[in-house]
Amino acid sequence: MPQSTGDPAGVDLFADEYVADPDPVLRALRENAPVHHDERTGLWLVSRYTDVRAALADPVVFHPGNALTAITPISGEVMRVLARAGKSVTLPPSPTTSRPGSCAVCSASARWTWVISTATRMSGVDIPAGAQVLLMLAGTGSDPEVFADPEPLCPGRKGARRHLAFDYGRHLCLGAGLARLEAAEVLRAVTTAIPEVTLVDPDPPMLGLLSFRAPVEVLVRARTADETSRPGA
């Protein structure tokens, strides 16, 4: 049984380099191993848009995972904290590697981890029954097979509504319309109040989430009149 259609080297979902810039890894997975078994976590990584969309549309084979299922081993300190709080966490079915002293990383945005009910095949790869699958939503919006010139952020690009950020099919987020309205209002208010801004830190610290990429903070400042009047500004 093949474990992937390729062998992308150095896949580490918790590495600082991946958190800072996951695009190279996501691109390598899409191109060389669209369905890849990650030995560090035991997860099967599905990265191509068409495969992720197909999984979301198949409730018979793909079942939502348990939000309390840990992906990495839990340290003794964290277990004691959880026990005192009266919480329980499902441990991984088999040992996985972890940084010394690291806490458990539960399926961050666990709704994107799925359990295969019956053996299935995706992109030429056999996935066994009972396997845990991580749908790499962060990479689907940059899939060149779906979006032309996918790298730049362009909300008004052709086919923009085909993105999977709000899920798909029966799993479509009920708050998608409200989220779009809120985002539009925020952008409208900010651009009206501060029409000309410059990034203070072009590389802000990022949250280490498995499914999504989000900055901890984004600092900007208003442009000066001199900056605004410069050619190309």
Domain residues for 151?
16-67+107-188
For residues 67-94, one letter each, b for 16 or more C-beta atoms within 10 angstroms of the residue's C-beta and e for the rest, the string is: eebbbbbbbeebbeebeeeeeebeebee
Whether 58 maps to a domain, the answer reads yes
Is 38 inside any structural domain? yes
pLDDT in the model for residue 222: 84
Q: How far is CA 161 from the centre of its chain?
A: 18
Give how many domains the chain has, as a whole number: 1
Q: Per-residue pLDDT tens for 175-201?
A: 989 998 998 899 899 888 888 888 898
Q: What is the distance between the alpha carbons of residues 52 and 34, in angstroms, rounded to a whole number?
A: 10
* Within-domain flag for 210: no
Report which of 156, 134, 146, 126 is spatially closest to residue 4, judged by C-alpha positions: 126
Distance (Å, rounded) from C-alpha 213 to C-alpha 171?
20
Q: Rounded to two decimals, what is the model's pTM?
A: 0.72
Backbone angles phi, psi at 36, to 5 degrees: -130, 135
Q: Does residue 62 lie in a domain region? A: yes
Q: How confident is the model at residue 37 (pLDDT cuts 50, 70, 90)?
A: very high
User: Does some domain include residue 131?
Assistant: yes
**Would the pLDDT of 99 be above 50?**
no
pLDDT band at 55 (very low <50, low <70, confident <90, very high): very high
Within-domain flag for 144: yes
Q: What average pLDDT is seen over the chain?
A: 78
Q: How many helices (H) and strands (E) does the chain have?
A: 7, 11
> Considering the domain boundaries, does residue 96 fall inside one?
no
Closest CA relative to residue 195, chosen from 220, 232, 230: 220
First to last CA, the chain: 55
CATH number assigned to the domain comprising residue 166: 3.30.43.20
Does residue 173 lie within any of the structural domains?
A: yes
Q: What is the pLDDT of residues 73-93, one digit of tens each?
A: 556 676 677 677 776 555 544
